[in-house]
Amino acid sequence: MSTALTWIPHPHNDTQVELIAIIPPIHLLPVVGGNGTTFEDVLSGFQAFCSPDALEQCGYDTAVYDCSSCSVPLYGFFIALVAIFGFIVLVGNSVVIWTVSRKKKTSNFEVLKVSLAIADILTSIQMIVISIPNIAWSLHSTGEDMLEAVTDSFGSSAATSGGIFFVLGFTASLFNLLLLSAQRLYAVRFPMRYKLQSKITVLALIGVAWAVSLFAACVPALFPDMYLYSYNHVLFLYYPTLTLTSPNVDFAPAIALMVFFYALPYLFMLSIVVATALYIRKFLYKSRDLMGLDSHRRTRTQVMKREATVFVTVAIMIIGFTLTLLPLLGVVSAFYAGSLTTLTYSQPYLIAFYIAMSSSLVNLMVYCYRNDSYRAAIRRSLCFYWDNQHSEQSTNIAHDNHQQNIPTQGRHQTAKTGNSVLRETTPPKQV
């Protein structure tokens, strides 16, 4: 039996279901006994910061913290890394929202950036609220505890809500980037119509993008006989798992839904980016010879160059979104090609998965590099913090000096006007 498949009891009925996850959290291990060969659930892979033979060396009844085959400092380092990453994404995207909200007049592109920033904040919440507590829990748990957590999570409300929230972070980023790319094509192809586009229209499009994102995140939950949400002990997260109620069940509709809501929007987004780049290139190439003949053409060219600058920003974000997904696709392909096994996939899978979640950080890096107002907002925030700290420190120093300069009995100090020389006098002794 392949370790990529396993049969478990279905949480909604008395049938058995077969798991076909990207990489399943558990698999069945054949055990030969007096009653013949039976199968028991075992963890598919163990913690990424443990050696592949950690379960054999320490067993299922030893906590990770006490297992000599696991590195506790690496757990601490990873918790700190995830915390810093989540904090930067949360604060950085909050600065994006704050920067736009302070402007008296905002462009449609800035409104779309706020929507994308909210989508990126979901990733930071995922890490801070879900990942970090699960990592800390795993550090003090045994293999038996993790196996029980995985099996008990299949189809549970906690796993379902956590899985929907995780998928929403991906779909919201995907459909907001799709909307950004479509708006850029609209801006370069129909500049006057784009300029006259109202804020109500843009907000309506953003609402549609979020509605589709939420529906796409809930698609697995709408088909409980085909999908189950579960906890993954390697990733410290929840995500959906495709299931089969029998070997003859046709799961093509479920796969088609995933392709329709995830793969096709991504391919459509790439097509829009390529079409926009080709149109800008063609227009600027023709304008090079005609710019001196027509003032309207010159103005149109200047507008096109500004739109091309904005388009480059969006294109870089989409390229970053794509590059962060490539390591995960490589690890999954290596697993099904046999290069990685259930004993060796944990560490590369964990690293690749969190790299895929780092696209929200890539967007901030693009803003810092391409957007002057965003850099200025960060400097203002840092200067505001520094000024507050410096003011508080100066106040404390002045207070301390004041306390030290209070005259004691029998002595007082006066200062000459115009200089800093202090004169001390001693009052005459009283008889």
Q: pLDDT by residue (tens digit) across 227-247?
A: 778 888 888 999 887 665 455
What is the C-alpha to C-alpha distance for residues 413 and 424, in angstroms, rounded to an integer? 5
Residue 97: inside a domain, yes or no? yes
Please list the ranges in the chain whose pLDDT falls under 70.
1-43, 242-251, 254, 287-301, 303, 370-375, 377-431
Q: Residue 275 half-sphere exposure, CB side, CA atoms within 13 Å?
A: 15
Picking from 308, 101, 107, the residue whose alpha carbon sits closest to that of residue 195 is 107
List, in order, residues 6 or more apart from 189 with CB less than 8 Å away. Answer: 279
Residue 151: inside a domain, yes or no? yes
Structure tokens, 184: 């850029």
> In 288-380, which ranges are E strands?
none
What is the C-alpha to C-alpha distance for residues 348 and 339, in angstroms, rounded to an integer? 12
- 242: buried, middle or exposed (CB in 10 Å: 19+, 13-18, 0-12)? buried
Q: What is the pTM of this model?
A: 0.76
> In 184-327, which ranges are E strands?
227-232, 237-244
Domain that holds residue 300: 6-383
pLDDT of residue 228: 78
Bridge partners (DSSP) of residue 238 are: 231
- Sign for the CA dihedral angle at 224, 342, 134, 353 comes to negative
Structure tokens, 213: 């994102």
Residue 351: inside a domain, yes or no? yes
Residue 259: inside a domain, yes or no? yes
Please, what's the b/e burial string for 46-61 (b: 16 or more CB within 10 A of its CB; e: otherwise)?
bbbbbbbebbeebeee
Residue 202: inside a domain, yes or no? yes
- Sign for the CA dihedral angle at 35, 37, 39, 45 comes to positive
pLDDT of residue 203: 94
What is the C-alpha to C-alpha distance for residues 134 and 58, in angstroms, rounded to an integer? 21
pLDDT of residue 210: 96
Structure tokens, 64: 């990770």
- What is the number of structural domains in the chain? 1
What is the C-alpha to C-alpha distance for residues 124 and 174, in angstroms, rounded to an integer? 16
pLDDT of residue 332: 83
Q: Which CATH number covers residue 21?
A: 1.20.1070.10
Residue 403: inside a domain, yes or no? no
Structure tokens, 105: 């007049």
pLDDT of residue 303: 67
Residue 396: inside a domain, yes or no? no
Picking from 163, 138, 279, the residue whose alpha carbon sits closest to that of residue 231 is 163
Residue 95: inside a domain, yes or no? yes
Torsion of CA 267, 268, 269, 274, to 10 degrees: 90
